């Protein structure tokens, strides 16, 4: 697994990685996210604090994870994205779909509306 994950008491899983989320790592991230959702972790927060750079392949992996989570009745949210990721979201007009939350707490707050299992 390229991703580290940690499930809180509220059932929300925080997912972390370090480095670049780009064409070299995207396929692994996509697979890991699919595995997590298949494992029943359908409420995910992807913490981007230690991700230095994201390209369109990385964005594709996040969209793939978002789709999988939504299909399972959950969601995937991104938090603590850096300025480059914000630029990428603006350029692709995907910030409405993959809304960047400033903090983990903000991302987590919205999850109370999605019932836990």
Partner 1 sequence: MHHLLARFWEDAARIDCLPSETWRHLFTTALAEVVANGLRHAYAPETPERPLRLRLRLFPDRVEALLIDQGEPYRSAPCTMNLPEDDVDIADLPESGYGLSIAYAALDVVRYHRTRGGYNCWKLVKKLEQKQ
Q: Are 76 and 66 in contact (CB under 8 A)?
A: yes
Tokens of 90: 């603006």
Cβ at position 2, least distance to partner 1 in Å: 17
Q: Does 94 bind partner 1 (CB under 8 A)?
A: yes
Residue written as token pair 């370090």: 18
- With contacts defined by CB under 8 A, how many residues of the chain interact with partner 1? 26
Instruction: Candidates 84, 102, 103, 112: give the one binding partner 1 (CB under 8 A).
Output: 84
Chain residues that interact with partner 1, rule: CB under 8 A:
20, 22-23, 53, 55-57, 59-61, 63-64, 66-67, 70-71, 83-84, 87-88, 91-94, 96-97
């Amino acid at each position: 697994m390229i991703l580290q994950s940690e499930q809180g008491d509220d059932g929300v899983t925080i997912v972390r990685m370090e480095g670049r989320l780009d064409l070299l790592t995207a396929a692994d991230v996509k697979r890991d996210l699919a595995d997590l959702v298949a494992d029943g972790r359908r409420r995910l927060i992807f913490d981007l604090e230690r991700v230095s750079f994201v390209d369109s392949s990385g964005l594709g992996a996040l969209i793939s994870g978002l789709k999988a989570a939504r299909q399972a009745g959950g969601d995937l949210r991104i938090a603590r994205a850096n300025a480059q990721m914000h630029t990428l979201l603006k350029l692709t007009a995907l910030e409405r779909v993959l809304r960047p939350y400033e903090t983990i707490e903000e991302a987590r707050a919205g999850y109370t509306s999605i019932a836990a299992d």
